[in-house]
Amino acid sequence: MPTTASPNRPLHPRRSRVCYVFLVILTLIFIIAVGFLITWLVTKPKKLHYSLENASVQNFNLTDDNHMSATFKLTIQSHNPNHRISVYYNSVEIYVKFKDQTLAFDTMEPFHQPRMNVTQIDDTLVAQNVAVSKSNGKDLRDQHSLGKIELEVYVKAKVRFKVAVWKSSHRTAHIKCSHATVYLSQSNKSLNSSCEADI
Ligand SMILES: *[C@@H]1O[C@H](CO)[C@@H](O)[C@H](O)[C@H]1NC(C)=O
Ligand SMILES: *[C@@H]1O[C@H](CO)[C@@H](O)[C@H](O)[C@H]1NC(C)=O
Ligand SMILES: *[C@@H]1O[C@H](CO)[C@@H](O)[C@H](O)[C@H]1NC(C)=O
Ligand SMILES: *[C@@H]1O[C@H](CO)[C@@H](O)[C@H](O)[C@H]1NC(C)=O
Ligand SMILES: *[C@@H]1O[C@H](CO)[C@@H](O)[C@H](O)[C@H]1NC(C)=O
C-alpha cells in the first residue's frame, strides 16, 4: 500500500491550536448566551406602568402681567408587574409644565418598590409667582375660565433594578403624562391617564 498520502496524518499543530482556541471561545459565547436566556426566562421582565390617577389645581392666580401662582395636587400610580424584579427609585424629580414652560417642581424621597406592587405617589407642588409667556398666559386664562387646565406632568428619576441579590446600575427614567386635564379646586373628578415611560 502506498504510504505517501496517509489520510490519518495529523493537522499542522499550530492550526489545531488555533482551532482549539476558537472552539473554546465559541463554547464560552454559547454558555454566556444561554445564561442570559435563562435569566431572561426566569425574571421575564415586564414594563413598569405609570398613570396619573388624580390631579387638581388650587389657589390659582394669574396676574395681569402674567405671573402665576397655584397649588397642584397630584397622585401618580406606579405599577411594578414583575414577579422577581423590584425597583429602587432615587432622586425623583416631578415637574408640572404648561406647554413649554415649567410651572412647578418638586423632589421626592427615594423609595423602594417591591415586586408585584402598586404604589400611589402623592405630591403637592406649588407655583409661586412664576413668569409665563404672554401667549401661555392667555391660554391659561382661557382654560381656567372653562374650569380645567391641560398640563403635562413629567417625572425624572434614577432607578435601579434588583433581581434576588443582583442590583443593576443606575438608569434614568423619563415618565411623561401628557395632556393631563386638571380640574379646578373642589372638583373631585378623578382622571386616569396613562403615562409614557422611557427607562
Ligand atoms: C393674586 O396675586 C396678586 C399678586 O401676588 C395679589 O395682589 C392678588 O391679591 C392675588 N389675587 C388673589 C385672588 O389671590
Ligand atoms: C407597595 O409597596 C409599598 C412600599 O413598600 C407598601 O407600602 C404598599 O403597601 C405596597 N402595596 C401593595 C398593594 O402591596
Ligand atoms: C382625588 O383628589 C380629590 C381631592 O384631593 C380627593 O377628594 C379624591 O378622593 C381623589 N380621588 C382619588 C381616586 O384618589
Ligand atoms: C364630589 O364631592 C361631592 C361632595 O364633596 C359629592 O357630593 C360628589 O358625589 C362627588 N363626586 C364624585 C364624582 O365623586
Ligand atoms: C385606569 O384605566 C385603565 C385602562 O385604561 C384601567 O385598567 C384602570 O383600572 C383604571 N383605573 C382607575 C382607577 O380607574
Rounded distance between C-alpha atoms, residue 166 and residue 163, angstroms: 5
Over 60: is that where the pLDDT of 1 sits?
no
The arithmetic mean of pLDDT across residues 50-72, rounded, is: 91
- How far apart, in whole angstroms, are the C-alpha atoms of residue 42 and residue 39? 5
Find the mean pLDDT for residues 97-110: 94
Question: Which residue's CA is the closest to the ligand 5 atom numbered 1?
Answer: 192
Residue of 192, 193, 195, 196 to test ligand 5 pocket, by largest number of atoms within 8 Å of CB: 192
- The pTM of this model reads 0.73
Nearest CA to ligand 3 atom 3: 188
User: Exposed e or buried b for every residue in 132-169, given b needs 16+ CB within 10 A?
Assistant: beeebbebbeebbeeebbebbbbbebebebbbeeeeee
Ligand with smallest separation from the Cα of 113: 2
Q: What does the alpha-carbon distance between residue 175 and residue 156 come to, in Å, rounded to a whole number? A: 6
Per-residue pLDDT at 36: 84
Q: Which residue has the higher pLDDT, 183 or 151?
A: 151
Binning pLDDT at 50, 70 and 90, where does residue 89 land?
very high
Cβ of residue 188 lying under 6 Å from some atom of ligand 4: yes
| 190 Cα: distance to centroid of ligand 3 (angstroms) | 6
Which residue's C-alpha comes closest to atom 3 of ligand 1? 63
Q: Is 4's pLDDT higher than 60?
A: no
Other CB atoms within a 10 A radius of the CB of residue 65 amount to 8
For residue 162, what pLDDT band results from cuts at 50, 70 and 90?
A: very high
* Mean pLDDT computed over 157-180: 91
Distance CA 72, CA 155 (A): 15
Cβ density class 96-112: b for 16+ within 10 Å, e for less: bbbeeeebbeeebeeee
Closest CA to 164 of 84, 50, 83: 84
Which numbered atom of ligand 3 lies nearest the CA of 189? 1
Most distant CA atoms of the chain, gap in Å: 110
Asked whether residue 80 carries a pLDDT value surpassing 70, the answer given is yes
